[in-house]
Structure 1
Amino acid sequence: MVKISIQEAKEKIAAIFMEVGVNREEASIIADMLVEADQRGVHSHGILCTARYVKLIKEGKMIPNMSVKVVKDNGTVAVWDGNHSSGQILGYRSMEEAIKKAKEHGIGVVCVKGANHFGALAYYAQMAQRAGMIGTALGTGDSTMAPWGGCEKVIGNNPVSVAAPARNEVSPVLDMAMTVVANGKVSNMKRQGATEIPEGWGLDRDGLPTTSMKDYYTIPPMAGYKGWGMAVMVDILAGVLFGGGTGDRAKDFADGPSIMMIAMDISAFNDEEKYYNDIDARINELKSSKKAKNSNGILMPGEIEANKFAASQASGLVEVLPENLEMVNAIAREMAMEPIAVIE
C-alpha cells in the first residue's frame, strides 16, 4: 500500500473526468466517492474505477453528464430512466431525492434503470444516515455469479447497503455483495500477479471449488443457497419491479445496472429521542456481551471501515494499492496532467 493526499487525489481525479466532458460538479462528486471508498478500505470500488469510467465515457457507454427521464412519480415513489449516465451521479441524485421525499412523506423510494456502475453502495445509505434517517440501497449488476447448484454466470453480486444513525455509539453500516467477496477483490489479486485465491472464493467452469487463478471462473454466493436466494430477491426488487436491467441485461453495453434507493424518516416511525436512546442502548448491549475466547472484540457492521475513514480524515492521507494508483496516473500522463504524488 502507498499513501497519497486526499485533497490532491480528489482534485486530480476530478480533473481527469472534466477532461472527458464531465462537468465540474459531477466530476467532484465522482472523485469524492472514489477516494472515500479507498479511505474506508474498499479498494475494489475506489480510485481503481477511474480507468473503467473514463473508458466507458470515451466509448459512449456512459453519458458524461446526468440525463434523466422521470418515468413515474407519485410523491413517495419515483422511477427514473438514467439514460446510461454515471451510475455514481445517478445514485447520489436519487438518494437526495429519496431523502427529500422521506421528509415530506415519511419514506421515499427512488428507483433508477438505465444506470452504470454505481460503486460502493454504503456511500448512498450513509447520505440518508447523515440526514438522520435510515438509508437502504440495493443494486443489480451484470452476471458474475452462478446460481446455487449451477455453473453458468447468470446473476450479479447484487449488493445491499443499510445505514442507521446512532448518537453516542458507532452508527451501523452494512454494505455487502451477495457473493462471498466482491469480484473486484479477485481482479485486484490478479493484477498483483496472484496465482492462487483463498479457499472458498472461486468456482471453475464446472461449478467446482478452485483456488487456482488460472481455473477461476466465478465467485460462489455468500452463505450458499441463502446468498443465492438474496441475490434473486434483489434482482426482483432493484430490477424486475420497475423494468431495470438484470443479469447480462445489466452490462454496460446493454440496459445497464439498476438501483433502488430508500430513505426512512425516523420521526414517521417513532419518537426520535426514544429511537436514539434505544439504538445506543442496543448497540452498547451487543458490543458489551461476552466475548469469544481469543476475540479482539465485537464490532458493529461498518465499524472497521468507519475507523479507517476517521484515521484517514485525521491524517489527510489515504492508502491505495500501488497498481490502482498507477492506473490513474497513466491516464493523467496521457492527458498531459501531473500524476498524483506518493506521500509515503
Structure 2
Amino acid sequence: MGKEVAAVKIAAATVKNFIAHIYIGYGFSETDSALIAETLTDADLRGITSHGVQRLAMYDRKIRAKAIIPYNKWTVVKHTKSSLLVDANHTMGQLVSAFTMDHVVSKAQRHGISVGVVRHSNHFGAAGYYARMAAKAGLIGIVATNTNPLLVPPRANQPFLGSNPLAFAFPTQKAPFVFDAATSTVSLGKIEVLLKNNQSIPGEWAVNGDRQTQTDPQTVLDELARNRRIGGILPLGGQREANANYKGFGNSLIVECLTGILAQGSISADLGHKNHDISHFFLALDPELFGDPQEIEASLSDMLDRIRHLAHSGTNPIRVPGDREIQNVDCNLKNGVVIDQTTIDQANEIANRLGISDRLSGTPIKE
C-alpha cells in the first residue's frame, strides 16, 4: 500500500481531557464522561491503539444512529449474593461494564466468587480494563464479550461469530498478570488501524467470500459492512486445520456461550446493522478460597519470572502477556501517546460538530 500516514505524540492527560469533553458534548454526565475517557486513554497508554481514541469515530456513528443512547440507564434484572444480570438499555458499554464489574468484585469479596452478565449493551472497549478491576482488589478477573459478526468459521465463507475477546487478570506481587486478546486472529479495530496507516493486512488474518487470503483492509471492512456479510477475519490458527484453527473457533464459541447465550441476548451472527445487543461476561474469584493470597501471588510471580529468564535465542528478552503493555504505559506516560493523523482529524471534526473548543494536536513523530 502507500506511504504510512503522519502521527503525533500527545500527553495522555490532554487526550483524556479532550475525550471527556467530547462525551459531555454528547450529553453524558461529567462522571460518566470521565470514565469513558479513562478507559480509552488507558488503551492508548498500553499500546492498544485499536481500542483507544481511534474508537471515537465508531462511537460517534452509533450515538448519532441512536444505537448508543447517552441518557439511558441500565437495569438490574436479577441478582443473588453471587450473581448479577443487567440490561444495559443501550447505554455506553464502558459505563454498564464498570458498574457490573464493580458489583461482581464486591460480591466476590463477600462470598468468594461472583459472576455478572450484561445484555442489550454496546462495544465496551478493551476487556482487560475490567479484568484488572478485579486484580486491583486482589481477585482473579475473567471478562469476555461478543461482538458484531466478523469471524469466519473453518470451511465457511461468511462470518458468524465475533472477535469475542477474553481477558484474564491475576494479582501478583507487582503488577497483575493480564492476558487480553480476541479469539479471532485480530480485532476489527486493528484492521481499521492498518487502513488509517495505509498498511496491508499481514499473514493469514482475513479472507474474502471465496476463502482466499485478503490483504486489503478497506475490502475487508467493506465486505463486513454489507447487509449480507461475506468473508471476514479468521479464528486463531488461520486458514488451515493443520494450524489448529478449530481451537480458535472453539474458544470463540465458548465466549459466545458465556455472553449472548447466557445473557439471553443476541448471538454475534444476529448483531449489526439495526440490531445493537452486545452481551458481556464478568467473573471475579477470591484466591483466599484456596489458600493464603500472598503465597499464591508469590507463586505466580515466581513462575512468570522463571519464564522470563529461560534460555533463549536472539537478543530480545522473553516476555509474558502483559509485559509489553506495562512497558508501553511507562514510556507513553513520559513521552505521550502516539495517534495517527487520520484519527486526529476525525476526533477534531467531532469536536467541531459538537461545538467544543478543544482540538487534538501534538508533536510530530520524525520518520
TM-score normalised to structure 2 length: 0.88
Contact 1:14 1:30 in 2 (8 A): yes
1:293-304 paired onto structure 2 within 5 Å: 293-294=313-314, 296-304=316-324
Contact 1:199 1:210 in 2 (8 A): no
- Give, as a single letter, the amino acid of the residue that structure 1 aligns with 2:344: L
Q: Does 1:221 align with 2:226?
A: no
Alignment match, 1:45: 51
In the alignment, the residues of structure 2 paired with residue 319 and residue 213 of structure 1 have an alpha-carbon distance, to the nearest angstrom, of: 21
Query: Could you report, residue by residue, the CA deviation over 1:10-36 in whole angstroms, capped at 9, with x for unpaired residues?
Result: 112111111111111011100111111
In the alignment, the residues of structure 1 paired with residue 136 and residue 334 of structure 2 have an alpha-carbon distance, to the nearest angstrom, of: 19
Contact 1:5 1:343 in 2 (8 A): no
Percent of counterpart pairs with the same letter?
A: 28
In the alignment, the residues of structure 2 paired with residue 97 and residue 252 of structure 1 have an alpha-carbon distance, to the nearest angstrom, of: 31
Alignment match, 2:224: none
Alignment match, 1:3: 9
- Give, as a single letter, the amino acid of the residue that structure 1 aligns with 2:209: R
For the residue of structure 2 that corresponds to 1:238, the secondary structure is: helix
- Give, as a single letter, the amino acid of the residue that structure 1 aligns with 2:340: L
Contact 2:150 2:160 in 1 (8 A): yes
1:250 deviates by 3.2
Contact 1:235 1:246 in 2 (8 A): yes
Alignment match, 2:289: 268
- Give, as a single letter, the amino acid of the residue that structure 1 aligns with 2:132: Q
Alignment match, 1:284: 305
In the alignment, the residues of structure 1 paired with residue 329 and residue 266 of structure 2 have an alpha-carbon distance, to the nearest angstrom, of: 32
For the residue of structure 2 that corresponds to 1:258, the secondary structure is: strand
Query: Could you report, residue by residue, the CA deviation over 1:98-128 in whole angstroms, capped at 9, with x for unpaired residues?
Result: 1111111111111100000111101111111
1:209 deviates by 1.9
Q: Does 1:147 align with 2:153?
A: yes
In the alignment, the residues of structure 1 paired with residue 290 and residue 30 of structure 2 have an alpha-carbon distance, to the nearest angstrom, of: 38
- Give, as a single letter, the amino acid of the residue that structure 2 aligns with 1:185: K
Alignment match, 2:349: 330
Alignment match, 1:309: 329
For the residue of structure 2 that corresponds to 1:123, the secondary structure is: helix
Contact 2:84 2:100 in 1 (8 A): no
Change (3 A) 1:252 1:167: farther
In the alignment, the residues of structure 1 paired with residue 72 and residue 135 of structure 2 have an alpha-carbon distance, to the nearest angstrom, of: 24
Alignment match, 2:80: 74
- Give, as a single letter, the amino acid of the residue that structure 1 aligns with 2:211: G
1:202-281 paired onto structure 2 within 5 Å: 202-213=206-217, 216=220, 217-223=231-237, 224-251=245-272, 253-281=274-302
In the alignment, the residues of structure 1 paired with residue 277 and residue 17 of structure 2 have an alpha-carbon distance, to the nearest angstrom, of: 28
Alignment match, 2:226: none
Query: Could you report, residue by residue, the CA deviation over 1:163-189 in whole angstroms, capped at 9, with x for unpaired residues?
Result: 111114x53210110111111111222
Contact 2:146 2:163 in 1 (8 A): yes
- Give, as a single letter, the amino acid of the residue that structure 1 aligns with 2:288: S
Query: Could you report, residue by residue, the CA deviation over 1:282-319 in whole angstroms, capped at 9, with x for unpaired residues?
Result: 1122222221x22512111111011101222244x222
- Give, as a single letter, the amino acid of the residue that structure 2 aligns with 1:203: V
Contact 1:135 1:262 in 2 (8 A): yes
In the alignment, the residues of structure 1 paired with residue 261 and residue 280 of structure 2 have an alpha-carbon distance, to the nearest angstrom, of: 11
In the alignment, the residues of structure 2 paired with residue 129 and residue 214 of structure 1 have an alpha-carbon distance, to the nearest angstrom, of: 38
For the residue of structure 2 that corresponds to 1:239, the secondary structure is: helix
For the residue of structure 2 that corresponds to 1:209, the secondary structure is: coil
Contact 1:36 1:46 in 2 (8 A): yes
Q: Which stretch has the larger CA shift, 45-54 or 212-221?
A: 212-221
Contact 2:8 2:361 in 1 (8 A): no
1:134 deviates by 1.0
Specify every segment of 5 or more residues in structure 1 that has no aligned partner in the other structure, as ranges: none
In the alignment, the residues of structure 1 paired with residue 363 and residue 218 of structure 2 have an alpha-carbon distance, to the nearest angstrom, of: 35
Figure out how many residues of one structure are paired with residues of the other and give that number: 340
Specify every segment of 5 or more residues in structure 2 that has no aligned partner in the other structure, as ranges: 1-6, 221-230, 238-244
For the residue of structure 1 that corresponds to 2:325, the secondary structure is: helix
Contact 2:117 2:282 in 1 (8 A): yes
Alignment match, 2:223: none
1:7-26 paired onto structure 2 within 5 Å: 7-26=13-32
Contact 2:32 2:95 in 1 (8 A): yes
Change (3 A) 1:287 1:113: same
1:212 deviates by 4.0
1:20-39 paired onto structure 2 within 5 Å: 20-39=26-45
Q: Which stretch has the larger CA shift, 109-118 or 210-219?
A: 210-219
In the alignment, the residues of structure 1 paired with residue 194 and residue 156 of structure 2 have an alpha-carbon distance, to the nearest angstrom, of: 25
TM-score normalised to structure 1 length: 0.94
Q: Does 1:201 align with 2:205?
A: yes
- Give, as a single letter, the amino acid of the residue that structure 1 aligns with 2:316: N
In the alignment, the residues of structure 2 paired with residue 137 and residue 112 of structure 1 have an alpha-carbon distance, to the nearest angstrom, of: 11
What's the Cα RMSD here? 1.7
